[in-house]
Amino acid sequence: MLRPLSGEGMRHNPSESIRLVVEKGYGDYARSKFANAQARLDDLEQLSQYALRYEDVNTFLEEVALANPIAGEDVAVVGPEDEKIVLSSVHQAKGLEWRVVFVIWLADGRFPSQRALRVPGGIIRVPEQNVPAEMAIMLRDTMEKEIVIPGEEEERRLFYVPRVSRDGARSRRRRCPDGTVALRARTARRGLREVGHRIGAGMRLLLISSSLVHGYGYLDHPEPDIKRHLAGKKRVAFVPFAAFDHAAYTAKVSERFGRMGFEIVPIEQLDQADAIFVGGGNTFRLLKKLYDRNLLDAIGKRVRAGMPYIGSSAGSVITAPTIRTTNDMPIVEVKSLNSLGLIPFQINGHYLDPDPGSKHKGETREERIREFHEENSTPVVGLREGTMLLVEDKSYKLLGLKPARLFRRGEEPIEVGPGTRLEVILNRADGEGSRS
């Protein structure tokens, strides 16, 4: 198995390398050793799919590799006479088995990691009875209860793990081998919230369902919001890739933004721009171009650092964890459906309500979103024409002319009106608003 893995071709194909490891031995080993072998193999299949976005193994490993498979408590049992440093991942550093934990790469551009920022989700293992309501976005039965946090919360967890052990989270106090006392779990979770909410803070996005609404010209209805969003800014980097004719699209946008007092520059001048506008069109074509030009990470990094972002239609859809809830046809092949992951929910733009008088028997938009929730747990926000979302830090405020429709797996959809802050609803177990 090592010989084919060491070939030159495999160095540029991390996805196939993972598949080869499973096929040539690990699959049989897992099935003979582990009761949850299929779950492990399913995870590896997902990892292989995720690795498709990387062009070489080294780049892939820089983001996803852990230090070693040894649990922290197995390497930390040393006597007071021993002097040594244990190099581990923070995921292994469960906290109080070490008296001091240094977190390496806690620096801008390295933390949060690109892996966590692009891939939504992360798990903090906390017993059900200790789950705070504001964090219980979703609970599911596994070998133990887990809180599943969307977005870059996986990286926020890195602050939590070194501070409290899993045992400490299950009891009020824990006496450690060196005589110190574990923090109460409630205190540690509060620390997570206090520190973690500053990670990724400063993001400002205006996500428009559509640039055209009946009775208005191009970008007329959101013009006041665009001006407020870009107050004090001048140069706007435009991404025209959702359209076929980039030149014509850029000319149209340049003229319209010029009337609002802004200068449009090409996305290649992102470093000299004050803001970003990603226009609408075909979402698959847009995402493919961003991957092909290695722009997805560059845009995400700038937005997380505070650069204002405006998206229209497809440009709004790609701010979600994936583009799985777009309405567009897959007219081009995209190596991954994962997108910017700037918000913790999916967007369905141009959301249409079913016509009660229609004799058409095809699927409604609501039925398609329910199908999405048969396989996925991420909430979906249906943005009707004339609506938009204002994202400020971790606040998601609905703006515009109409209500939006919020879908969560296993629940009836909820109508949310303009002015509603979606994070309040998403963080409540029972939701609020007008149920259909």
Catalytic sites, residue numbers = 313, 328, 350
- Cα 293 from Cα 300, distance rounded (Å): 14
Amino acid found at 224: P
Contacts of 81 (CB under 8 A, 6+ apart): none
Amino acid found at 56: D
Phi first, then psi: give them for residue 220, nearest 5 degrees: -75, -45
Amino acid found at 47: L
Interhelix angle 185-196/153-160, nearest 10 degrees? 130
Task: Report whether 249 contacts 240 (CB < 8 A).
Answer: yes
Q: How far is CA 144 from CA 48, 126, 243, 359, 431, in A?
A: 26, 8, 47, 48, 25
Closest CA to 431 of 121, 197, 150, 133: 133
- Cα 95 from Cα 163, distance rounded (Å): 5
Instruction: Count other Cβ atoms within 10 Å, centred on residue 405.
Output: 23
Structure tokens at 300: 């995400």
Give the residues across from 384 on adjacent strands.
none
- Cα 66 from Cα 306, distance rounded (Å): 30
Contacts of 348 (CB under 8 A, 6+ apart): 317, 325, 326, 327, 365, 369, 380, 381, 382, 383
- Cα 253 from Cα 218, distance rounded (Å): 9
172-192 burial: b if 16+ Cβ within 10 Å, else e: eebebeeeeebbbbeebbeeb
- Cα 393 from Cα 198, distance rounded (Å): 9
